[in-house]
Amino acid sequence: MHEMSLAEGILQLVEDTARREAAKRVKTVVLEIGRMSSVEPDALRFCFGSVTHGSIAQGAELEIVSVPGAGWCMICAETVAMNELFGACPKCGSYQVQAVSGTEMRVKEIEIE
Amino acid sequence: MCTVCGCGAGETRIEGEANEHSHEHTHVHEDGSVHSHDHGDGHQHSHAAAVAGVHEHRHQHADGSEHAHSHVHQGEHAHAHDHHHEHAVGADLDYGSGPARAHAPGLSQSRMVQIEQDILSKNNTYAAANRSWFDEHGVFALNLVSSPGSGKTALLVKTIELLKGKVAINVVEGDQQTSNDAERIRATGVQALQINTGKGCHLDGHMVGHAMQRMQPADESLFLIENVGNLVCPAAFDLGEQHKVAILSVTEGEDKPLKYPDMFAAADVMLLNKCDLLPYLEFDADLAEANARRVNPHLTIFRVSASSGDGLSAWVSWIESGLEAQRGKRAETVDNLKARIAELERKLAAS
């Protein structure tokens, strides 16, 4: 639903970097998107294509690295797998789990020429 | 732009004045250097994150030509320029002009550039600058968030009445339209500034930075920010506050922390407001607290009523201990500086 504005934020970071590096074209954009970050990768791809049209990143390939969810369970005192934010610990069923990865939305790197 | 709901930006008004004018403003770069410049001059440039004080600029002029230069900042404005011009005409065959500054036959200039930046990184930079200012000046800043109608402003008015004799207070009011809330706060006798976000659904670090400049909060004072009534978007936008305070009223549902978990996870404190109405409602306050703690086990919860005043003393003493902690931080900064001065003086005397 909010992927359009996320795509705009990505384009801003990409354009800033491309300008700084005096790039002629952006070939690839690599993102790290956590599985619990509530971003729909397909919707993001579609929006990225539209917002980059006419920009230095037009036609750039969008690579999305999906980061699995993990959390620290305070009862088990260990890192456990998580599928949904604020979900229960798969081992003990407690809700005292703090997400430690899987919520990121980052622009990792770009390929330019 | 809000990356949560996609609402627009550009209609922000502070006390009725548009905030989008060509003005001189200050940037804080990733490397920690601060740089001021003016944007009314019809050119665009980007800054490279470089070693402190050294910047590389790329200018794009109206005629399409481009040039890059690097310069060293001495203080705020003295520039030592070193120009490298790259005009649009005639640059077509310059094989050495690529980013690698070299050309081997058949070797592509294509390369990877690491960015490693959060999509919300711009806001976070502004927020970090606000936070360090608050810490240096011993100011205790709170960001109050809730859905519309939970009683944020009424609660603020009561809190101010209980505290205004003891500490200087500044209030920032965020709403899409009207300055009604700021007027309600001003009626208590403290300074209040209204920010109208227009199409926007939340306050951001940049807006609060502007508000701080306008209000010039006193050292060791209390800075209260009433965010736009919205339980979704303000969760993602750090303003530089010490704590987010979520307000839930008993006329809402017990399951609100589960429906809007991001906000209750981002908050450190929850105020359960309008508790004087509990006898007339089928609201299970214990269940509401349990739901909130399921989302955020660290949450501190106060049951209050702004209209009857019940429970406010615990909330007010929590604020007072926060003020005390910020004063401690400031004293630490001052002590560190004094220690450094003494150290330098000793070295100077020895040499």
DSSP assignment string, B75-123: TTTEEEEEEEEE-STT-TT-GGGSTTS---TT----EEEEEEEETTHHH
Enumerate the residues of chain A whose CB falls inside 8 A of the CB of residue B262. 85
Is B306 inside any structural domain?
yes
Measure in Å the smallest separation between the Cα of A73 and chain B Cα atoms: 11
Is B137 inside any structural domain?
yes
> Structural domain tally of chain B?
1
Helices B152-163 + B312-350 axis angle, to 10: 60
Residue B211: predicted pLDDT? 95
A111 CB within 8 Å of a chain B CB: yes
Enumerate the residues of chain A whose CB falls inside 8 A of the CB of residue B258. 86
Is B268 inside any structural domain?
yes
Q: Whole domain around residue A72: which residue ranges?
A: 3-112
The fraction of chain A above a pLDDT of 90, given in percent, is: 58
Is B256 inside any structural domain?
yes
CATH number, position A107: 3.30.2320.80
Enumerate the residues of chain A whose CB falls inside 8 A of the CB of residue B98. 22, 113
Enumerate the residues of chain B whose CB falls inside 8 A of the CB of residue A84. none
Q: Whole domain around residue B200: which residue ranges?
A: 127-276+284-329
Residue A40, CA distances (Å) to A14, A53, A94, B282, B291 in order: 20, 20, 28, 38, 27
Strand A61-67 relative to strand A26-34, pairing: parallel
Q: Are the beta carbons of A5 and B56 separated by less than 8 Å?
A: no
ipTM above 0.85, yes or no: no
Residue B117: predicted pLDDT? 85
Distance CA A52, CA A74 (A): 43
Residue-wise pLDDT tens digits, A10-52: 998 999 999 999 999 999 999 999 988 867 888 889 889 988 9
Q: Are the beta carbons of B56 and A20 separated by less than 8 Å?
A: yes
Q: Are the beta carbons of A113 and B108 separated by less than 8 Å?
A: yes
Distance CA A100, CA B258 (A): 20
Nearest to A86 among B113, B121, B261 (CB): B261
Measure in Å the smallest separation between the Cα of A86 and chain B Cα atoms: 6
Residue B153: predicted pLDDT? 95
Measure in Å the smallest separation between the Cα of B233 and chain A Cα atoms: 11
Residues 6+ away with beta carbon under 8 Å from B349: none
- Whole-number average pLDDT of chain A: 89
CATH number, position B189: 3.40.50.300
Tens digit of each residue's pLDDT, chain B (351 residues): 565 666 665 667 887 776 544 444 445 454 544 454 444 444 444 444 333 444 444 444 444 444 444 444 433 333 333 334 344 443 444 444 444 444 445 556 688 888 888 887 778 889 999 999 999 999 999 999 999 999 999 999 999 999 999 999 999 999 989 999 999 999 999 999 999 988 778 888 999 999 999 999 999 999 999 999 998 888 888 999 999 999 999 999 999 999 998 899 999 999 999 999 999 999 999 999 999 999 898 999 999 999 999 999 999 999 999 999 999 988 888 888 899 999 999 999 988
Q: Are the beta carbons of A9 and B56 separated by less than 8 Å?
A: no
> Structural domain tally of chain A?
1
B155 CB within 8 Å of a chain A CB: no
Residue B13: predicted pLDDT? 80
Q: Are the beta carbons of A19 and B46 separated by less than 8 Å?
A: yes
Residue B91, CA distances (Å) to A61, B34, B85, B98, B246 in order: 28, 34, 10, 11, 57
Residue B109: predicted pLDDT? 65
pTM value is: 0.70
Residue B167: predicted pLDDT? 96
Distance CA B12, CA B185 (A): 20
A20 CB within 8 Å of a chain B CB: yes
A7 CB within 8 Å of a chain B CB: no
